[in-house]
């Protein structure tokens, strides 16, 4: 059955969840993003990828990070649940960053994270038939593992510019003990992200972003994004994900502490005729320790 051959590909491709609104949810790809908002920040995100396709990826994220008082250090935590077909991955990481001022308005942060991936594959739910018509015994047993991992990153940021580089997973753990042909491993992923805000008038700003992604032994990929900000309240943008989708996105700054974003990805890949696109929602909230503090708007 074809699905048997696709299993290692599916689990291999979705090791790191994909996000359209990565510029507003930086902790999922770079631990050095920790504390960059200058306040305790809580983020929740849900993503339903390739809707209408059975077994398509679904992802939920919750994170919290904050500067530590009277210190250049920041700490945080991020939790991710990623589901693809019968594969489930639960990830929990503690993050840390140390920010060094490089000018009056800019800092460079060095970050690290440590945590575990709980991986579970309900292989017994699959009906894998070999060419002889006999069920494949390799997929008769469920797999589950707890896999430790580490990540590192660097992040330069000012009010209007950011550049980040990271490797969120450094250990190439084994997902399973199946034969060499179908054996799956965690692979190191590398991310380079950058963006800048250009004022186009009193009430309009333009922000292009780019995300470059590379996986050891895998393909190079990129995301290109352009956003317009109106009256410091409404972001409207469009993204292109290499050979995958064209995305429209909106984010509403409800106030200087609370924002809500939504994106829809229109498929352009070979799977386009089997799916109905990708939906993603991101909620950000900066938690104030002092009600008298007025935070400046966040551009990323």
Residue 118 CA to residue 127 CA, distance in Å, equals: 24
Q: How far apart are CA 77 and CA 188, in angstroms?
A: 20
Q: Which stretch of 80-94, 176-190, 275-289 has the lowest confidence by average pLDDT?
A: 176-190
What is the average per-residue pLDDT within 239-257? 93
> Could you tell me which residue, 45 or 182, shows the higher pLDDT?
45
pLDDT above 70 as % of the chain? 83
Average pLDDT estimate for 148-166: 96
Picking from 83-87, 108-112, 124-128, 168-172, which range would have the lowest pLDDT averaged per residue? Answer: 124-128
Question: What pLDDT is stored for residue 10 in this prediction?
Answer: 42
Q: List residues bridging with 238 in a β-sheet.
A: 226, 248
pLDDT band at 118 (very low <50, low <70, confident <90, very high): very high
192 contacts: CB under 8 Å, gap ≥ 6? 163, 164, 165, 211, 212
Whether the predicted pLDDT of 178 surpasses 60: no
Residue 177 confidence (pLDDT):
62
Name the pTM for this structure.
0.87
Q: What is the pLDDT of residue 60?
A: 95
Q: Characterise 289 by phi-psi region: left (phi > 0), alpha (psi -120 to 50), beta (else).
A: alpha
Residue 157 predicted with pLDDT over 50:
yes
- What are the tens digits of pLDDT across the range 50-89? 898 888 899 999 999 999 988 999 999 999 999 988 888 9
Q: What domains lie within the chain, and their CATH numbers? A: 2-287 (2.40.160.40)
Q: Which of 88, 94, 247, 273 is nearest to 175 (CA)?
A: 88
What's the chain's length in residues? 300
Provide the pLDDT confidence category of residue 136 given band limits of 50, 70 and 90: low
Nearest CA among 99, 90, 83, 78 for reference residue 35: 99
Q: For 23-46, what is each residue's pLDDT tens digit?
A: 888 999 999 999 999 999 999 999
CA-based nearest residue to 267, from 13, 113, 31, 53: 53
Report how far residue 155's alpha carbon sits from residue 144's, in angstroms, rounded to the nearest whole number.
34
Residues ≥6 apart with Cβ < 8 Å to 255: none
3-state secondary structure 140-166: CCCEEEEEEEEEEEEEEECCCEEEEEE
Instruction: Judge contact between 205 and 195, C-beta under 8 A.
Output: no
């Amino acid at each position: 059955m074809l699905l048997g051959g696709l299993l290692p590909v599916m689990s291999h491709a979705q090791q790191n969840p994909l996000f359209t609104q990565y510029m507003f949810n930086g902790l999922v790809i770079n631990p050095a993003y920790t504390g960059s908002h200058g306040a305790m920040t809580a983020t929740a995100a849900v993503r339903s990828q390739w809707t209408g396709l059975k077994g398509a990826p679904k992802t939920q994220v919750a994170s919290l990070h904050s500067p530590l008082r009277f210190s250049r250090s920041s700490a945080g935590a991020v939790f991710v649940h990623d589901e693809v077909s019968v594969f489930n991955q639960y990830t929990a990481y503690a993050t840390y960053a140390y920010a060094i001022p490089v000018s009056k308005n800019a800092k460079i942060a060095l970050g690290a994270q440590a945590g575990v991936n709980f991986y579970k594959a309900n292989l017994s739910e699959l009906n894998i038939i070999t060419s002889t018509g006999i069920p494949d015994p390799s997929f008769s047993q469920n797999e589950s593992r707890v896999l430790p991992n580490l990540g590192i990153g660097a992040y330069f940021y000012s009010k209007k510019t950011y550049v980040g580089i990271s490797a969120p997973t450094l250990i190439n753990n084994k997902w399973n003990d199946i034969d060499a042909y179908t054996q799956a491993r965690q692979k190191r992923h590398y991310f380079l992200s950058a963006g800048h805000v250009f004022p186009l008038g009193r009430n309009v700003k333009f922000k292009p972003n780019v995300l470059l992604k590379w996986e050891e032994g895998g393909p190079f990929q990129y995301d290109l994004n352009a956003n317009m900000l109106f009256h410091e309240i409404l972001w409207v943008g469009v993204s292109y994900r290499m050979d995958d989708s064209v995305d429209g996105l909106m984010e509403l700054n409800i106030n200087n502490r609370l924002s809500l974003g939504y994106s829809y990805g229109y498929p352009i890949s070979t799977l386009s005729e089997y799916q109905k696109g990708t939906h993603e929602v991101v909620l950000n909230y900066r938690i104030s320790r002092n009600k008298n503090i007025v935070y400046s708007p966040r551009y990323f």
